[in-house]
A and B are shown apart, each in its own frame.
Chain A
Amino acid sequence: MTFTVIFLTLVAQNDPDAFADANAAAENGDYATAVDRYEELLLASPQASGVWYNLGHAAYRAEQLGRSIAAFRTAAALAPRDPRIKNNLTLARKGVSPPVSPSVSNPILATLFFWHYSLSVGELGWLAIGCGGLFWTAAIVLRNRVGQIAGILGVLSLVLFFGSWTIRVLSPASIAVVNRDNAPVRTRTDRRSDVRFTVPEGAELRWREEVGTWIRVSHPDGQQGWIHRDDVFLLSL
């Protein structure tokens, strides 16, 4: 199954009863049912980080490592500083065998543009709105030197946050999480073509392009090839 996270949709309200039912199924050890129910909920509200988190938890318990890592990564994108998500994602990644280290951001860029890497799209959007509000307040109410400085700061901050928000929305990170063990990555978009390398369940690959039912992916070690769409969860974070 393939699911794609789209951040541009408005948030739909969760059905609290359905969420509680899914949680109850998980607490009773029926993780497969819980996974199905969380996924149904996410169709209506794809930005519900708590649902993604619980989906990752239930999938991990159900020994669906790829689904679990995909869900935790999505939850981490929505709530990037939540320690529980980080913890569980780290734990799930330890189950990938042989280990495939996911790609990490350039540390220099991550330090210079810390807000871009440490804030979610939602947070960036709200900050852009806040800075816009500061600008308007300064422009309308404070018509003096202080207002001028506040307005300039508001506009500068707005440019930073709005720029980051725009980049994240228009050019999201494309991740393909492998959902079965020893999934073959081939040289061409053909099941009869040579297998260039295989990847374990849970491996996080960079998703480069999509041609029909085939996805061109690149391994963190630089190798590239084509993997069938059925073998991966595609994420746009």
Chain B
Amino acid sequence: MSTLLLLIGLAGIDTVQAVLDRTSAAVGDNVTLTVLVDGTQARDPKITRVPGLKFFGPRVSQVRQNINGVVTETVGFRYTVVPKKAGRYVIPPIAVRVGNKTQRSSPLELQVTGGESTDLPIRPFFAVAKIDNPNPYRSQQIVYSLQLYGELLNLTCKRFDLPKFDKFIVEDLGQERRYQTVKNGRRFSVVEIRKSLFPLEAGTFTLPATELTCNVTYPSTGGARSSPFDRLFSRGRTETKILRTEEITLQVKALPPAPADFSNIVGRVMVGASMDTRVIPAGSSVTQTLYVKSSGALRGLVPPAPTLANVKIYDDQPKLSFNDRGPELETVMRMNRAFVPTEPGTLEVPGFSVGYFDPDEGAYKRAVAPPTKLRVTPGAQGQDTKLVDGQGPAKSAPAPAPTVVPSGTVLAPMVSSAHLAVTAPPIWLVLLVGLLPPLLLVSRRLRHIRLPARSGSKRGPLRRILAPLEGGSGDADVVDKVIREVLARGGLENAGSGEIQSALEEQGVPPADRDAADRWLRWIESSRWGAHQGAPPGPASELGALLGRIDQRLGA
């Protein structure tokens, strides 16, 4: 190939060169078409459509080569060509616009042989579709698997359409599975998609082939021995491949004549029933849980409601769940049924049975859940109810015990009251009541917190404040003024005696000083408002010393 490039570079005759990596292939094979164009001004090649051949791409790369001082720049376009039919094909000249000129390559020939060219296990990638039972009964579950095998490569299939399973009920069987397996001594990575199919009719059916468009990424080889073409496209080669599975034919057998209790389930069946209690008072409800587990389709299955005297029965909606992690789909149906016995005594709650067809044994069978005995005790009048059923008692008859039924089973009646609960209070009222107390508390707290700050601004020489006491004045007004001035230095000028005591306590004033202060305050109060102005609690000098200590604490 390097020779080819050299020729292109030196001669400068053919500026467009198209090459197939082989001249013969089988249907479904991937043939690589490479178009090389000299210069960097090339636009995408125009490839004439060839019926029977499918083109994917291109991937574009550029390479610059310096050979004996001659520099060439080449643009490469790589296509994957997949033959759809056998025959001899001619790919017409490929036109490429280079600058202002249109250049054309030579035509190419490709011989395609019919059928898949290789045996599946020999190929490094292939797709297989299969079913686990080609001869099922009608309604019996079969598992359809689509498997993609890839050996030492990354296989991504972006587009594929599973066959239309027209005569089948189709359920997904789990998520896409990925695992590794060994075939003929070679290790393959496998991607598997599974579906559960339930044939709706007897007869012969063909599941059509599935065609998958996949990207295959080969690991990069690189190395000195790689050709210029490999160097051109050397980042882990990716090719588009079309994979096809084989058609699948299956013969669905009809079921033998069915008995009357056949519930249209074909497969293994387990049934069960449980009660949430065995002893209940009359008028109360007991819940029976019924369940059916089967590999067959359970949609539409509803256990028939029994008829019991003096018992009200309420059926819940059956609920289906699917277990899709096993080798086949398992469907579980659960249904709650409430029984409300109205008379005391012994009550036998019947079980239930499901008639089904066992495909392994080819015979009809019955799965039976046994009955359960309940003891019904006399019910209490006026017991709590979950729900009233809307049937009011007759006026002349004694009121029956309220009926209790499972919540969400029967529509409760309408009401005649427009309000069933308290209405919301006005927003301003909630805001007023909600915000005011905390704000008040906070403001009070802030007031205490602000004490040192406020006292700082009012602090001046204490001696000046205490000066009126130096003359030994026992006048209550003078003493009051002095005390107030000292307290004002702590922000307590307007506080009551109780608040002053609390504040002094908070500031760590000793009890003896607090008591002394209290005595002086009481003396001032009695002197100002009382009938008699008694003797002061102590000499003015003692008061001065006391106020000095208090001032020290307030200022701390």
Contacts and interface: CB of A to CB of B under 8 A. Distances in A.
A binds B: yes
Interface of A: 7-8, 10-11, 14, 16, 19-20, 23, 26-27, 41, 45, 47-51, 53-54, 57-58, 60-61, 75, 78-80, 82-91, 93-94, 120-123, 125-126, 128-129, 131-133, 135-136, 139, 154-155, 158-159, 162, 165-166, 169
A125 B411 contact: no
Contacts of A49: 418-421
Interface of B: 317, 385-388, 407-427, 429-430, 432-438, 441
A126 B422 contact: yes
24 contacts: A10-B426, A14-B418, A20-B416, A49-B419, A49-B421, A57-B413, A58-B414, A75-B420, A78-B420, A87-B412, A91-B409, A91-B410, A91-B411, A120-B424, A125-B425, A128-B430, A132-B433, A132-B437, A133-B433, A135-B437, A154-B437, A155-B441, A158-B433, A158-B437
Nearest to A82: B420
Contacts of A86: 407-408
A53 B414 contact: yes
B386 to A, nearest CB: 6
Contacts of B419: 47-50
Nearest to A163: B434
B408 A87 contact: yes
A90 B407 contact: yes
Contact of A122 (B412, B423, B438): B423
A122 B424 contact: yes
A51 B418 contact: yes
Given A93-B408, A125-B430, 12 more contacts: A14-B418, A23-B416, A61-B411, A83-B407, A85-B420, A87-B409, A91-B409, A129-B433, A131-B433, A139-B437, A158-B437, A166-B434
A23 B424 CA distance: 24
Nearest to A51: B418
Given A50-B415, A60-B411, A84-B387, A79 B421 contact: yes
Given A78-B421, A91-B408, A132 B415 contact: no
A160 to B, nearest CB: 11
A11 B386 contact: no
Contact of B425 (A14, A88, A126, A166): A126
Nearest to A130: B433
A132 B420 contact: no
A128 B427 CA distance: 11
Contacts of B418: 14, 16, 19, 41, 45, 48-51
A86 B408 CA distance: 8
Contacts of B422: 120, 122-123, 126
Nearest to A122: B424
Contacts of A89: 408
A7 B424 contact: yes
B72 to A, nearest CB: 47
A9 B434 CA distance: 18
Contacts of A75: 420
A61 B424 CA distance: 29
A157 to B, nearest CB: 11
Contacts of B409: 87, 91
A50 B252 CA distance: 59
Contact of B423 (A27, A47, A131): A47
Contacts of B407: 83, 86-87, 90
A94 B408 contact: yes
A165 B411 CA distance: 32
A223 B202 CA distance: 41
A68 to B, nearest CB: 10
Of B411, B417, B420, B422, most buried by chain A (CB within 10 Å of CB) is: B420
A154 B433 CA distance: 11
Nearest to B435: A162
A94 B433 CA distance: 43
Contacts of A133: 433
